């Protein structure tokens, strides 16, 4: 049975068609993947289906009846829910309280009937086989727990179409398996899944059909079993993906751009970490969620206070790490949460890009506006940022183009060391390869790169060496020469103490 049918959908922003004559169908119990490069129109389509944006023309049918979706409440009422790439949970609320956000709490007299509330939540959790502690507040939950909680919240409303937008971003392979199992249980009960992801392996594993968007138009809808990755990429970009080339091995005698010795933090998130990065080298860091990957980069950069150990950049000791001194020393951080930690969404592309280096464009009494504008435009061209111009608000760009601006901002600081935390998270295949080529080119120029990713295969594809984190400690250092995913995961699940080194 066709659950949702869209025909002739158009959405215009100014003179730009975000969606043009789009048609789409999804059946009950189907996993339907939606793919396309960043800026192809996927997010706009999702926002129309969930009532965030209104359509300019076209029709939407739900179970054979024409419907209007003027607001998110109307979307949820008919049975459409979305789990966004950026989680929408109240950090200080427990799992139980987050489940009931926007719903009527069960009452007893003049107060909340907490027993009835918890009983309903536990029944739902049991029905879908989700193992999370709903007594925990959202800010204490791991990324996979937050994802599961968002899905449970959607199912509180008798969801018939669940839209998952990059649901495995920041999840390791093992954590993603739990999500995939839940998707299987949902579709077995007749729930349709619109699965939006840039991860091709997941798309081919989970989906029944795939719809491809390009430049705001539906290019094609194909049966998953009858296509392959190369065909999808051709449909998405009308071009072949240029794979970044394997780099020459970095000499072990090369100068060290970063030396970390027995580094620990006051909160225990980093314990006795020792590592180094040489000039011209890309060093990967892998570990399961909660292993301390992000915290290690934040401590090196100066966002967390160390309680012991030492850090040296280009042979000079860093006595009190801080973001300002890190930038001055040539250290830049590409954070995992770009919208929260790397960008000011209300500012323009130009303002975001030059924010850390405004001194460079300052005259005696005023900003050298022309010089600033020329340099920003040059970097936008270099990074292939798709935008109306440098004065466009950064919040209006797609995720991939926002990430390109984050990298351009970092490059304006003339860095010697890149600290990259999930730098390709939720970007399309083409942008992912562009970022890989950029980092390899910077390494070829003599920079060092410390690279964190939840995608183990990505780490193995790009890194010259890698460190494995387990329980806030480095448990292995591996030269990336024939290393297998199974070997790395073996260290992740081990409980050995200390560090092991393997050539």
Residue 251 lies in a domain: no
Strands (E) in 141-270, as ranges, are 161-165, 192-196, 209-214, 217-223, 256-265
Residue 78's pLDDT is 94
Residue 252's pLDDT is 66
CA distance 93 to 134: 10
Residue 503's pLDDT is 45
For the stretch 21-30, pLDDT in tens is 999 999 999 9
Residue 277's pLDDT is 97
Residue 201 pLDDT level (bands cut at 50, 70, 90) = confident
311 pLDDT more than 50: yes
243 pLDDT more than 60: no
- Shared domain check, 493 and 443: yes
- DSSP single-letter state for residue 396: G
14 pLDDT more than 80: no
- Shared domain check, 282 and 214: no
Return the minimum-mean-pLDDT range out of 96-110, 135-149, 270-284, 487-501.
Answer: 487-501
Residue 462 lies in a domain: yes
> Which helix (DSSP H) or strand (DSSP E) does residue 148 occupy?
helix 143-155
Residue 502 pLDDT level (bands cut at 50, 70, 90) = very low
What's the mean pLDDT in 385-409? 91
Residue 242's pLDDT is 52
- Shared domain check, 68 and 210: yes
Residue 496 lies in a domain: yes
Of 260, 175, 197, 225, whose CA–CA distance to 432 is shortest?
A: 197
499 pLDDT more than 60: no
Domain boundary among 202, 237, 272: 237
Residue 211 pLDDT level (bands cut at 50, 70, 90) = very high
- Shared domain check, 295 and 177: no
- Shared domain check, 201 and 262: no
424 pLDDT more than 50: yes
Share of the chain above pLDDT 90, in %: 57
196 Cβ contact partners less than 8 Å away, ≥ 6 residues apart: 33, 34, 35, 42, 46, 163, 164, 165, 166
Question: Residue length, the chain?
Answer: 503
Contact 61, 67 (CB under 8 A): yes
pTM for the whole thing? 0.67
For the stretch 51-90, pLDDT in tens is 999 999 999 999 999 999 999 989 989 999 998 877 788 9
240 pLDDT more than 80: no
Two tokens, residue 470: 């387990």
433 pLDDT more than 60: yes
Domain boundary among 237, 264, 292: 237
Mean pLDDT of all residues belonging to the chain: 88
For the stretch 259-305, pLDDT in tens is 999 999 988 999 999 999 999 999 999 987 778 999 999 999 999 99
Residue 30 lies in a domain: yes
Residue 205's pLDDT is 94
Question: Number of structural domains, the chain?
Answer: 2
- Shared domain check, 308 and 439: yes
For the stretch 335-370, pLDDT in tens is 998 988 999 999 999 999 999 988 888 877 788 889
496 pLDDT more than 50: no
Residue 245 lies in a domain: no
Residue 157 pLDDT level (bands cut at 50, 70, 90) = confident
Residue 245 pLDDT level (bands cut at 50, 70, 90) = low
- Shared domain check, 176 and 45: yes
- Shared domain check, 268 and 232: no
Two tokens, residue 337: 């949460």
- Shared domain check, 53 and 106: yes
Residue 249's pLDDT is 64
For the stretch 87-125, pLDDT in tens is 788 999 999 999 988 777 778 777 888 888 889 899 888
CA distance 204 to 207: 6
Q: Which one has a higher pLDDT value, 113 or 479?
A: 479
- Shared domain check, 212 and 117: yes
Contact 161, 2 (CB under 8 A): no
Task: For 118-145, give the DSSP string.
Answer: HHHHHHHHHHTT----TTSBGGGS-HHH
Residue 500's pLDDT is 47
- Shared domain check, 144 and 261: no
Question: Which range of residues forms the domain containing residue 348?
Answer: 256-502
Of 443, 450, 483, 494, whose CA–CA distance to 249 is shortest?
A: 443
- Shared domain check, 478 and 408: yes
495 pLDDT more than 50: no
3-state helix, strand, coil in the chain (%, to 5): 35, 25, 35
Distances (CA, A) of 245 to 291, 333, 429, 457, 461: 30, 24, 16, 16, 10
* Three-state DSSP state, 294: helix
Residue 242 lies in a domain: no
CATH number at 75 reads 3.40.50.300
CA distance 257 to 273: 17
Domain boundary among 237, 270, 290: 237
């Amino acid at each position: 049975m066709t659950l949702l049918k869209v025909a002739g959908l158009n959405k215009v922003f100014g003179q730009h068609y975000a969606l043009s004559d789009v048609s789409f169908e999804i059946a009950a119990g189907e996993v339907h993947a939606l793919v396309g490069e960043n800026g192809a129109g996927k997010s706009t389509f999702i926002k129309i289906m969930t009532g965030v944006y209104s359509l300019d023309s076209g029709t939407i049918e739900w179970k054979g009846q024409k419907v209007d979706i003027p607001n998110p409440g109307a979307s949820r009422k008919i049975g459409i829910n979305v789990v966004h790439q950026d989680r929408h949970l109240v950090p200080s609320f427990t799992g139980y309280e987050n489940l009931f956000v926007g719903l009527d709490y069960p009452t007893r007299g003049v107060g909340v009937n907490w027993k009835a509330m918890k009983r309903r939540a536990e029944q739902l959790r049991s029905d879908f086989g989700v193992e999370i502690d709903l007594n925990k507040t959202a800010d204490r939950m791991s990324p996979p727990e937050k994802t599961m909680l968002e899905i449970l919240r959607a199912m509180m409303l008798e969801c018939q179409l669940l839209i998952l937008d990059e649901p495995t971003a920041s999840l390791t392979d093992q954590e993603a398996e739990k999500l995939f199992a839940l998707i299987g249980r949902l579709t077995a009960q007749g729930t349709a899944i619109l699965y939006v992801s840039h991860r091709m392996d997941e798309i081919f594993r989970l989906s029944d059909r795939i719809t491809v968007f390009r430049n705001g138009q539906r290019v094609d809808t194909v049966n998953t079993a009858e296509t392959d990755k190369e065909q999808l990429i051709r449909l998405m970009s009308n071009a072949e993906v240029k794979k970044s080339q394997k780099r020459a091995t970095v000499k072990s005698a090369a100068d060290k751009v970063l030396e970390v010795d027995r580094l620990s933090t006051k909160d225990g998130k980093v314990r006795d970490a020792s590592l180094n990065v040489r000039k011209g080298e890309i060093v990967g860091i892998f570990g399961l969620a909660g292993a301390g990957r992000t915290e290690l980069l934040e401590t090196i950069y100066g966002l967390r206070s160390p309680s012991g150990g030492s850090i040296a950049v280009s042979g000079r000791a860093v006595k009190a790490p801080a973001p300002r001194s890190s930038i001055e020393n040539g250290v830049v951080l590409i954070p995992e949460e770009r919208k929260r930690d790397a960008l000011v969404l209300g500012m323009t592309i130009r303002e975001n890009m030059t924010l850390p280096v405004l001194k460079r464009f300052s005259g005696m009494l005023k900003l050298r506006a022309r010089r600033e504008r020329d340099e920003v435009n040059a970097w936008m061209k270099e990074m292939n940022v798709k935008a109306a111009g440098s004065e466009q608000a950064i919040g209006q760009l797609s995720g991939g183009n926002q990430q390109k601006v984050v990298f351009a901002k970092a490059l304006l600081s003339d860095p010697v060391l890149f600290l990259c935390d999930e730098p390709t998270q939720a970007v399309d295949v083409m942008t992912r390869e562009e970022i890989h080529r950029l980092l390899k080119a910077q390494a070829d120029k003599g920079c060092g790169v410390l690279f964190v990713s939840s995608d183990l295969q990505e780490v193995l594809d790009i890194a010259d060496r890698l460190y494995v984190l387990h329980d806030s400690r480095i448990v292995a250092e591996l030269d990336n020469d024939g290393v297998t995913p199974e070997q790395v995961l073996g260290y992740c699940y081990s409980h050995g103490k200390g560090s092991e080194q393997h050539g």
